[in-house]
Amino acid sequence: MSRLLPSPGRRKYNDDDDEHEDPLLRDNRDSSEEDVELADLELDGRERTPVNHYRRRDEPPKRVEWYWIASALAVCVAGFTLNTEATAYFEDALDWKKPFATLYLTHGSLVLPWIVHIFYLRWKNRSTPYQSWVRDYNNTLRSSISTIDAFATSGPSLILKRRGQQGGPLDYLAATMAIVTIVLTISGVSWFTSLSLTTPADLTAIYNCATFFAAAFSVPILKEKLGRLSILAVALSIGGTFIIAYGDTTAEHAESAIGASRFLGNIIACVGAVAFGLYEVLFKKWACSSRPETQGSSVPLTLAASALTGFYTLGVLWIAFPILHIFGVEEFALPSLHALLWIVIAVLSAAVSITLLAILVVWTDPVFGSMANVLSVFFVALADWYVWGLSPSLATYIGGALILVAFGMLSYDTLGKEKEKD
């Protein structure tokens, strides 16, 4: 959207004789003269709004190509599968069971993709002076945040400032991601707490109901209308998860060790599923540009927003370590070098998969993004077969088939809607 520079001089008109005062036009201005756009001016290196910030409001956002979505989903599912297997190995085989420490490292690792991205950008623009490069990066980030609908509608109410001060785009992102971090932490703590109270089958089945809660929250928060195909896909995916969780008899669970705590563990797992579904929806609402130029232009904002959850985790949750150690809930102990290697593998794979999950949520919607978690259930069962020699049961294949069918239906419905927007 171009803006015109004011020209010197005025023309005066009177309402009674079709005259009025217009300060933007000089006397005898030729209508054929070319208007000057701000984007064409040289500002001698001073800060100006990026040209791509000015976008025609009637121009629809560009659709993300399907192969980018497919690639991100494939790597995301592979990352979740590797994270699950690596975590199971250093907890069960190497006997380093520190649930809170694992949560702290996993969520804190979300800063790593952003750091890698920053180093890449700096290397790519290494000829640019450092201060200019930082200013350009911040301006680009501010420009992306300014295109978020929630920033325009509810941004001021989410920013805590002193009276008389007004928060900017970066303040908005910091405030909203603090809330998102709380929701994600509740989800993670619920997972690790219920793990010691209920059976793995219950936990897997209930926690993957986050797909349903993501769909439920999308209606009031994102004002989305779910089609019948999407609703049926969610139901099939949850059904497939339950079949895998309860129909697979290759693993035996010590029910006597759980006892009456199983019901409490299931309630806590349900809280975690609700929180994770809410996390995906809030991330979509508060960190998704409504007018991205390309799929690549939305990535810097997504990485920065996701990294903030990692910084908040690293900066705040460490306080719990001495408390848990003093009360004997989780005593602090350094892992062996062998265990450390597998912890690093688990943390890195989690950093990649959770970040890609956020990107998928931004590119598509929370329901499609959460399907990565559901797909990983089937592939984890196949990985158990390959790594641990646990042959999948008939229930695993039936449940996996239902999940794959549900994924196909959801993909058709989601990508079909995106195509109709073009």
Tens digit of each residue's pLDDT (9 = 90 or more) over 206-217 = 888 898 999 999
Tokens for 168? 């900017």
DSSP symbol at 202: H
8: three-class secondary structure by DSSP: coil
Amino acid making up residue 267? I
Please list the residues that pair with 14 across neighbouring strands. none
Contacting residues for 350 by C-beta, under 8 A, at least 6 apart: 79, 83, 106, 109
- Can you tell me the distance from the alpha carbon of 368 to that of 230, in angstroms, rounded to the nearest whole number? 9
Tokens for 27? 């006397």
Residues 161-199, buried b or exposed e (16+ Cβ, 10 A)? eeeeeeeebebbbbbbbeebbebbbbbbbbbbbbbebbb
pLDDT score recorded for residue 327: 93
Tens digit of each residue's pLDDT (9 = 90 or more) over 301-343 = 999 999 999 999 999 999 999 999 999 989 999 999 999 999 9
Report the chain's C-alpha Rg in angstroms. Answer: 26
Percent of the chain with pLDDT over 70: 77
Contacting residues for 179 by C-beta, under 8 A, at least 6 apart: 158, 282, 286
User: In terms of pTM, does the model score above 0.85?
Assistant: no
Distance of CA 22 to the CA centre of its chain: 49
Cβ atoms 171, 161 nearer than 8 A? yes
Classify residue 286 by burial, with Cβ atoms within 10 Å: 0-12, 13-18, 19+: buried
pLDDT score recorded for residue 393: 82
Q: Give me the mean pLDDT over the 31-46 stretch.
A: 45
Distance of CA 313 to the CA centre of its chain: 15
How much of the chain is helix, strand and coil, in % rounded to 5? 70, 0, 30
pLDDT at position 50 over 60? no
Tokens for 263? 């019901």
Look over the chain and give the mean of its residue pLDDT values, rounded to a whole number. 81
Q: Give me the mean pLDDT over the 94-120 stretch.
A: 95
Please list the residues that pair with 415 across neighbouring strands. none
Distance of CA 121 to the CA centre of its chain: 21
Q: Give me the mean pLDDT over the 54-76 stretch.
A: 70
Cβ atoms 377, 208 nearer than 8 A? yes
Least confident piece of the model among 72-76, 78-82, 265-269, 300-304: 265-269
Q: Which of 186, 150, 374 is nearest to 284 (CA)?
A: 150
Cα dihedral 340, 343, 347, 348 sign: positive
Percent of the chain with pLDDT over 90: 44
Taking CA atoms, 382 is separated from 103, 106, 175, 361, in Å, by 25, 23, 41, 26
Q: Give me the mean pLDDT over the 76-83 stretch.
A: 93
- Can you tell me the distance from the alpha carbon of 197 to that of 270, in angstroms, rounded to the nearest whole number? 13
Q: How many residues does the chain have?
A: 422
Tens digit of each residue's pLDDT (9 = 90 or more) over 119-171 = 999 999 999 999 999 999 999 999 999 999 999 887 777 777 666 666 789 99
pLDDT score recorded for residue 420: 55
Largest Cα–Cα distance of the chain, in whole Å?
95
Tens digit of each residue's pLDDT (9 = 90 or more) over 370-420 = 888 888 888 888 888 888 787 788 888 898 899 999 988 888 887 766 555
- Can you tell me the distance from the alpha carbon of 239 to that of 243, in angstroms, rounded to the nearest whole number? 6
Amino acid making up residue 49? T
- Can you tell me the distance from the alpha carbon of 255 to that of 278, in angstroms, rounded to the nearest whole number? 31
Q: Which of 412, 409, 72, 415 is nearest to 239 (CA)?
A: 409
